[in-house]
Amino acid sequence: MSSKKHAETGKRIDSFGYAALKEGGTLEPFRFKRRQLGPKDILIDIEYCGICHSDIHEVKGEWGRSRYPIVPGHEIVGRVSKVGSAVKKFSVGEKAGVGCMVGSCGKCEACKAGEEYDCAKGPVWTYGSDEKSIGGRTYGGYSNNIVVDEGFVLKISNKVDMASTAPLLCAGTTTYSPLKYWKAGPGQKVGVVGLGGLGHVAVKLASAMGADVTVFTTSKNKVKDALRLGAKRAIVVSDKKAMATAIRSFDLIVDTASAVHDVDLFLSLLRRNGKMALVGLPSKPLSVAPFSLVSGHHVLAGSGLGGIRDTQEMLDFCAKKGISADIELIPVQKVNEAYGRVVKGDVKYRFVIDMSTL
């Protein structure tokens, strides 16, 4: 495929990228159409897109809701190449970012509170939702361009590196949200379960907020990195002695594990009134013993993404503090190999696709 700029035919914009055509299928080159710009729409030429574990869950049909073909990708950064007649927030040539959603009803309680990801009508996801204006689906960021309503486009500082900022559009906002909501900061002991794409950004954010951070990992070879990333300590979960030293000591635990694991084990590490926020989305149910919540008056909460306002706040915070993801940049042709490596935990810590290789 050529990496030439988009072409416009009739009322649609020609796009190309990589798609999974069926459950369990590998990603392959795919041509499709996007809607022509409405008055408030922005056309972004995509430069980089991160690979989130959610893309892999979706492509594999692990959440039981996938609709094929899927062009995954919701950690998107690029440059504005065209704007609709009523666009106020962006001009051509500006950097721009798109995360997990590209629309919502704007009227429900969640939307009014700026938490569009929780829209009562269901947000329009960046990929896999209905594309109401032209029929078919929304397609994500493993592609050359995207058309998005300006209300769902984020500003990216001119100072930051584009490739390593891309993962913040999902991994950043998803971990910033529970840290903000549960008030991580100085004097707070914060645990991060799983040092993957989300987990490593959570460590950077929580330490930048001033919290005392501990990483819980199943991978011995990540301990050194955890400390380099800003954690005060890292505990290998299978080390029973080390785990015993952590009992009843945490104010907040952010659990990013992507597979089924022992939630009670981590609840036992919370101090009285401590909170645990689940952000990982394993495909099978997790079990919780009621005693793990009742003893210690613990809260087990969930947290999903962040609204547009909080996502912008997170991006500005990261630009100010010099926070971005640790990435391995790959050409798009290596995407299937990268998926296999994410599942094996063999990435430090986020793959980002260089879209100029399309």
Report the alpha-carbon distance of residue 110 to residue 104 in Å, rounded. Answer: 10
Give the residue with the Cβ less far from ligand NAP, 40 or 60.
60
Give me 99's structure tokens: 């995360």
Given Zn ion, ligand NAP, none, residue 108, with its beta carbon under 5 to 8 Å by kind, binds: Zn ion
Residue 32, φ and ψ in degrees, nearest 5: -155, 180
Cis omega (within 30 of 0) for bond into 68: no
DSSP β-bridge partners for residue 103 = 124
Residue 75's nearest CA partner among 195, 175, 203 is 175
Helices 308-321 and 171-181 cross at an angle (nearest 10°) of 100
Give the residue with the Cβ less far from ligand NAP, 94 or 313.
313
CA atoms within 13 A on the CB side of 137: 17
Q: Under the criterion CB under 5 A, does residue 54 sit at the interface with Zn ion? A: yes
In this structure, are strands 27-35 and 212-217 parallel, antiparallel, or unpaired? unpaired
Give the residue with the Cβ less far from Zn ion, 73 or 274.
73
Give the residue with the Cβ less far from Zn ion, 108 or 299.
108
Q: How far is the CB of 201 from ligand NAP (least distance, A)?
A: 8
Give the residue with the Cβ less far from ligand NAP, 145 or 175.
175
* Residue type (1 letter), 226: A
Q: Which residues bind ligand NAP (CB under 6 A)?
A: 52-54, 57, 170, 174, 194-199, 217-219, 222, 256-259, 261, 279-282, 303-305, 342, 345
- Any residues with CB less than 8 A from the CB of 80 and at least 6 apart, and which? 42, 43, 44, 90, 91, 92, 93, 94, 95, 96
Q: How far is the CB of 17 from Zn ion (least distance, A)?
A: 17
Per CB under 5 A, contacts with Zn ion among 149-178 are: 170
Options 6, 12, 108, 242; binder of Zn ion; rule CB under 5 A: 108
Cα–Cα separations (whole angstroms), residue 307 to 177, 197, 338: 9, 20, 29
Site string for Zn ion, 272-311 (x = CB under 5 A): ----------------------------------------
Give the residue with the Cβ less far from ligand NAP, 43 or 342.
342
Given Zn ion, ligand NAP, none, residue 104, with its beta carbon under 5 to 8 Å by kind, binds: Zn ion
Sign of the C-alpha dihedral computed for residues 192, 197, 198 and 202 taken in this order = positive
Q: How far is the CB of 282 from ligand NAP (least distance, A)?
A: 6
User: Cα angle vertex 72, ends 255, 108, to 5°?
Assistant: 70
Q: How far is the CB of 115 from Zn ion (least distance, A)?
A: 9
Per CB under 5 A, contacts with Zn ion among 115-154 are: 119
Residue number of the CB atom closest to ligand NAP: 196
Q: Under the criterion CB under 5 A, does residue 343 sit at the interface with Zn ion? A: no
Give the residue with the Cβ less far from ligand NAP, 305 or 315.
305
Binding residues for Zn ion, per CB under 5 A?
52, 54, 104-105, 108, 111, 119, 170
